[in-house]
Amino acid sequence: MSDWLDALPADFYEQLAHSLSLHGMACAELLGRPHDALPRQLAALTGLTAAHVAELNTIASHAQLLTALRTQPRALYDVLLLGRLTLDTSLAAPVLAYVQRQMQINATQLHALKTYCLELSGAFLTTLEQHLPAEPSVSLHRLRVEALFSKYVATHSAPTPAAATIRFSEAQLQLVRLALLLVHSLPDAGEHPFLTAVAALPALRPVALEPMMARLSELQPAQELALTLAELVQLYQAMQVCGMVFVSEVLEKLGLGSVFPTVPAEEMAATPAASTASNRQAVGEMVSGFTRWVQHTFPDEPALQVARAQVLGLADAL
């Protein structure tokens, strides 16, 4: 442990400062609820107390971080672990609201900060696990903590509310099904930078698309489709990718022109003007109509802004 700490760069604390602070506050919020069963069980499992967490939350320099890692590495590990798990639940809402006010940032910036801090904590926890004493087993300890958290979340999570209810026309439903089928098939279409970039988007991986594909296969035109925000973002990204493929030469380059023929324009046109347009123009117009509606309906939604930025990044691979 000591050799590893001696090799850390002098700015190591500065790199972790935001992550340490955010995770520490989340852990303090969690253990500051002694009347709830989960905090009591986690305190018993980790040996952490609110006072102990408060002490570790005073770390404000590289020297103090090194001291904590030398004298109480397990406790610091548990603070980061509990904080990380808490940040992915509604228990962190007061902490995130406080951080947003103090830093005077908008919801998109807060989402980016949280994501960045979680990435750092994930890497730091992995590093710590390699240097903590083998006994007691840190891997088994982490599994027990995560299992306890999962049980709590499963018990207390409310159903995700629908963000929107949509009625697709027959042409729109056909296009949405086509978009999902196309994106689902891209990983098997060969080697291409665009395919790699699409496959890197979590919401567009085949396993993530299949539940929505199953729902749409049973949906009838004009039937109500209730969508959570995550599902709406998934459709938004899939439609964008579909539009990019159909208005570029990617379809032919990948040899998918015959596999995914465009639907006749007269069947897909959303407006009389589109009925005289090419098949590709019809696809492009319907994709644009759907994505504009999503952006107009949820202009300040962080998840949608992140999804939009991810799709824009795909253009570099075309």
Give the model confidence (pLDDT) of 175-196 as tens digits: 899 889 888 888 776 677 787 7
Give the pTM.
0.53
> Both 202 and 303 in a single domain?
yes
Tens digit of pLDDT for each residue in 59-79?
999 999 999 999 999 999 999
Return the H-helix or E-strand segment holding 167: strand 164-167
Question: Which of 111, 132, 156 is where one domain is finished?
Answer: 156
The pLDDT-based confidence of 34 (bands split at 50, 70, 90) is confident
Q: Terminus-to-terminus CA distance in the chain, angstroms? A: 47
pLDDT at 190: 67
Q: Which residue has the higher pLDDT, 262 or 233?
A: 233
Dihedral sign, Cα of residue 200, residue 201, residue 207, residue 209: negative
306 vs 318: CA distance, rounded Å? 20
pLDDT for the residue 271 = 43
Residue 161 and residue 221: Cα distance in Å, rounded? 23
pLDDT of residue 125: 92
Buried b (16+ CB within 10 A) or exposed e, 111-122: bbbbeebbebbe
Residue (of 251, 230, 241, 245) closest to 302 by Cα position: 230
pLDDT of residue 268 exceeding 60, the answer is no
pLDDT at 274: 40
Which residues constitute the domain of residue 217?
A: 164-317
Distance, in Å, from the CA atom of 163 to the CA atom of 71, rounded to the nearest integer, reads 48
The answer to whether residues 124 and 187 belong to one domain is no
User: Do 180 and 100 sit in the same domain of this protein?
Assistant: no
* 145 and 251 belong to one structural domain: no
